[in-house]
Chain A
């Protein structure tokens, strides 16, 4: 037990320690002069990243009675979650100023959410997975509602309802799976299932489990929350919402699809269908939207659907493309949301017309923002281009049946280009009113660093792809 603790659980326990520190600090709110909430959690995340080096990954390590596992795959996802968490902490300056006293609580919740995300990825049985999922979602409810205005409360409530329903579906599926296999351990289930003839009940349980999980990814049956929640949520929380739950959920779904659940053809087709419907819905919905946040909501749902479609076609090659896509996508997303964060701190509002003429007055930040949007649309010289080609190549390599799916996705990316263009074009317009943006160091730091990473991956993707392939082939 203590070995398990040293071998794989140090980063998580570091986070737990810092959560406790934040909570303790929140008692001493009289010290208003120095608000230490953000530095403490940033420091904690840095320590956790350092402690990632202590994690044993080769060979695969199963700890705590096989309930938690660790390998290179989980290590990469942990690193990405922590990185995104670090950026979110840096971006949370606005909300920190708004919350004042409860800033410590906010940071504690954020760290809890990161902890939950990490545990979701490394879960190796369904009980652990369920508990970690709840940790992730409960902290998310409060994070969304943290500004305490009407819209954020509404958003939080919507998210709560949807996630609660989906959790019910998930548990229902797990109970069936337990009935089929007699175990909750992913490895044991895999061994039992591989020796058994294919049963309909098993496919059914697999479909239910994945359906329960995809609610947080805003895929089709549970997609309706996404626009309202994005509209009502503060941007730094959005930066969290569009990255960390995505990484965590895709992390576990991909692994489950490759391991026990992917042996069913039904699941593949259900997921393809879901992904396609989501892509159609999200891309067409965004055309008429005027609110920037709502467009980003649609874009995040659409991107999740591309990843889902590829992930559902089970192969390690596809897995490597999915990992690459996720890594580049979260970085791009953080970049875009840090721009929105700067906009928010200048009280500009999120109507597209408000962005007019930014290019003249704020050259640097608007260039970084344009890079992020072009990357989302998949233009060359950015990581989005490589990710798009690599992901779609996986679908093309999966077989002739999927060519129509690919064709539809490709046409939908043209629709997507339309609304992405809508996001950046007002920036280049000339208006007389000159508005100079103020941005804090932390915000511009995140913005520029993510934009630079986006361009660097776009120019030189080979190392990252190699890493993704290594991880995918060794899972």
Chain B
């Protein structure tokens, strides 16, 4: 049965299909392309669920691609090795699911340039899956860079109504920021690779072959900081976050869903994989500082989010705030912290995905995202209001929803951390500060959905079937993991 799951197929099939879609061989009929991608994404999701069903922790999926019987680059010991362990499996399923939702959400939004859009969509999917499953530092870096090309086109491209001139600027900003971060990361990878080679004599860049115990702590710290800059751009950690609100606001709705839902998680995953696992000594030293940065992330962006008038910007800042919570969980440096972080990645991925979907629906119907101009949506679109209420409640951490459990677990893990008192301090402060999230989320809900209905908006349709499908699956997911958190925690 294990042979059913092939990791290369999982990762590279979207890439091949993306080139296929882009090529002139494929039809340029809009509906056909969309249905093709939609079907593919749903099959991909089912396939990754199958991988979960067949998975057992004792035996993780490992596969190596040989190029005519050789490693990829032997001079540097780079191998195309992929491994799926429990954390990666969860993230891969999350990726697959959110891409499926995004492919559904593309229906009314994408009006132009379908070929570029859908092929880049699949390429981005492939790159993110590659990031999550690569087991070699250079291959990880390859996918990390590869993701920039589709991300640029998806954020900055002109796909119809939501497009404005700022999109291109924010896409360039995103690419330059991430590229800068990834260059620091490359330096870290090269140094780690070199020192591992000189101390152990193994010419390999595979995660399992890196032994940093004999590295001097100063060097470990330097490498660790290089990695943190790289991942901190993506996560984002506060001074490096300025690309995020622009990119998320100007991207089309499905792409905002993907960016906030999955792309940010690659940064957290990278910190876990590189800093936490491979450079533990340095991470123990950095963790308290990082925890304070995480706390700043939570507080500062919460206040900024409260001040925003654009609903998409509110959601964007709220996701920075939540990423701070994920970072705090990793900083705790214990088993509970890791599982809580991964759980929060999933929970927040679903929540933010839903919130961006709601923003997209609202913008599509009302042609504005300004919170002061929106009022009384609830009376026009009661079904949307129901979903918005549920998702907003989930996002502020109401019991029975998944974020409640993950937030509590994260803060508990930081409190029980044995690293330093700073972590306890941070956890004590983070708990009341979570109330801030209810401030801005409820402001969003209150100002836009409640209130008197504006005149002239009577003819607005409530949510359509595919939008209903997206929102209901998100809500079901949130409630499912809220009642039954062992579904994820058990796997980890």
Contact = CB atoms under 8 A, between A and B. Distances in A.
Interface of A: 320, 363, 374, 378-381, 385-386, 389-390, 392-393, 396-397, 403, 406-407, 410-411, 413-414, 417-418, 421, 425, 428, 430, 459-462, 465-466, 469
Contacts of B113: 430
Contacts of B76: 389-390, 393
With most chain A CB atoms within 10 A of its CB, the pick from B112, B148, B190 is B190
A466 B153 CA distance: 36
Contacts of B456: none
Of the listed residues A406, A411, A414, the one surrounded by the most CB atoms of chain B closer than 10 A to its CB is: A414
A397 B203 CA distance: 12
Contacts of B179: 413-414, 417
Q: 7 smallest A-B Cβ distances: which pairs?
A: A396-B190, A410-B183, A380-B146, A380-B142, A414-B180, A380-B145, A462-B70
Contact of B73 (A378, A380, A386): A386
B72 A428 contact: no
A428 to B, nearest CB: 7
A250 to B, nearest CB: 20
Interface string B357-382: 00000000000000000000000000
A385 B142 CA distance: 8
B416 interface: no
Contacts of A406: 187, 190
A347 B427 CA distance: 66
A218 to B, nearest CB: 24
Interface string B339-358: 00000000000000000000
A460 B67 CA distance: 7
Contacts of A379: 145-146, 148-149
Contacts, number: 86
A403 B116 CA distance: 39
Contacts of A410: 183-184, 186-187
Contacts of A459: 67
Interface string B62-85: 000001101111111000000000
A406 B190 CA distance: 10
| Chain A interface main SS type | helix
Contacts of A389: 76, 138, 141, 186, 190
Given A413-B179, A462-B70, 5 more contacts: A374-B149, A407-B187, A411-B180, A414-B183, A460-B68
Nearest to A462: B70
B288 interface: no
Given A380-B145, A407-B187, A462 B24 contact: no
Contacts of B327: none
Interface in B71-103: 71-76
Given A380-B146, A396-B194, A414-B179, A390 B172 contact: no
A359 to B, nearest CB: 8
Contact of B143 (A380, A390, A397, A414): A380
B176 interface: yes
B67 A396 contact: no
Contact of A390 (B75, B116, B148): B75
